[in-house]
Amino acid sequence: MPKTAYDIHPDFARLPVINFRFGRLLLWLINGVSRLQRFFVRRSLRVELQKQRITRDAGSGFTVIRMTPPGLASPAPALLYYHGGGFAITYGGLHLKNCERYAIEAQCVVIFVEYRLAPKNPFPDAFNDCYRALEWTLEHAATLGIDPQRIAVGGDSAGGALAAGVAQRARDEQLVRLRAQLLVYPVLDNRCSTVSATDFVDVPIWNAVSNRNMWRTYLSRYANGTTPDYAAPAHGRLQDLPLSYVETAEFDPLRDEGLNYARALQALGTEVELNATSQTVHGFDAVAKSALTLDAMATRIAFLHRAFHEGPDTA
């Protein structure tokens, strides 16, 4: 079925159809462009940026960027944010701009995690970095000016998988009672067996072919059909998870797994805000000036503001 058969909004209908194969040369080129793009975006951000190095158990390390809006009162809530990119592509300017808005408009610190990337570093490397970033944030909450009782995790696409997996492990290990999880068109299920993950082979930006290739690359250390703990959050235990925001795009191979995850959480008693956007594709918020993008961003920010600033134990 050609993409012209889909009722995609005109703002997104001309975005390219790409079958992404995760070749090393292509990834090198894309990541180079992303690094150049974000270099210029960083110079225009209205938040204070501070890079901090986190040490892993093995002695190596990785970087997080602390984003603090001007005039933020301390101790402040914090959002640990994990960017998307199929577990293999580094973050771009869009991720920084969106997190700038989360920080300023939801009045929180954003801890932006530069985790390791596949194919060189398949699961569990990125996940371990993301979980270690949460541990580090809690260990240094006082010096970071962060309220440890008001911490959320969030991410888009592959970053949504990392956030949801971190939330599950934090619950299992009783590390912290997270305030919320913000999951934006999240990757959740490596079975790729839903209707959307099967049928949407020719939708713009991210399609079912790319989705299957992503999982093969990310889980390359494991036998085919194996699902290690926390890699694909749809397979995890879903009880006792925090207040959740789940956003889906209508013409996205990830749509159905997002809807299924939201409904499963609701059935187990978790409060969920489901934002099932219409006429959209995966990564639609790259078209920043679209009315649909502006509405989605406003909905995400309102959720974060409610999670951080409403309730009996807010500062």
* Domains of the chain: residue spans and CATH: 7-309 (3.40.50.1820)
Q: Which of the residues 125, 252, 256, 285 is marked catalytic?
A: 252
Q: Given a cut of 70, is residue 151 above it in pLDDT?
A: yes
Task: Respond yes or no: is residue 196 known to be catalytic.
Answer: no
For residue 5, the model assigns a pLDDT of 84
What is the per-residue pLDDT across 65-90, written as a single tens digit (0 to 9) for each? 999 999 999 999 999 999 999 999 99
Residue 225 banded pLDDT, cuts 50, 70, 90: confident
For residue 314, the model assigns a pLDDT of 65
Residue 3 banded pLDDT, cuts 50, 70, 90: very low
Q: Given a cut of 70, is residue 4 above it in pLDDT?
A: no
When pLDDT is averaged across residues 101-122 and rounded to a whole number, the result is: 98
For residue 216, the model assigns a pLDDT of 97
What is the per-residue pLDDT across 6-64, written as a single tens digit (0 to 9) for each? 999 999 999 999 999 999 999 999 999 999 999 999 999 999 999 999 999 878 999 99
For residue 57, the model assigns a pLDDT of 80
Task: Respond yes or no: is residue 282 known to be catalytic.
Answer: yes
When pLDDT is averaged across residues 288-300 and rounded to a whole number, the result is: 98
When pLDDT is averaged across residues 215-232 and rounded to a whole number, the result is: 96
When pLDDT is averaged across residues 231-244 and rounded to a whole number, the result is: 98
For residue 194, the model assigns a pLDDT of 98
Share of the chain above pLDDT 90, in %: 95
Helix 93-105 to helix 24-42 angle (10° resolution) is 40
What is the per-residue pLDDT across 8-22, written as a single tens digit (0 to 9) for each? 999 999 999 999 999
Kindly report the average pLDDT of the chain as a whole number: 96
Q: Which of the residues 34, 157, 210, 244 is marked catalytic?
A: 157
Per-residue CA distances from 219 to 124, 222, 229, 296 (Å):
8, 6, 12, 31
When pLDDT is averaged across residues 288-303 and rounded to a whole number, the result is: 98
Residue 2 banded pLDDT, cuts 50, 70, 90: very low
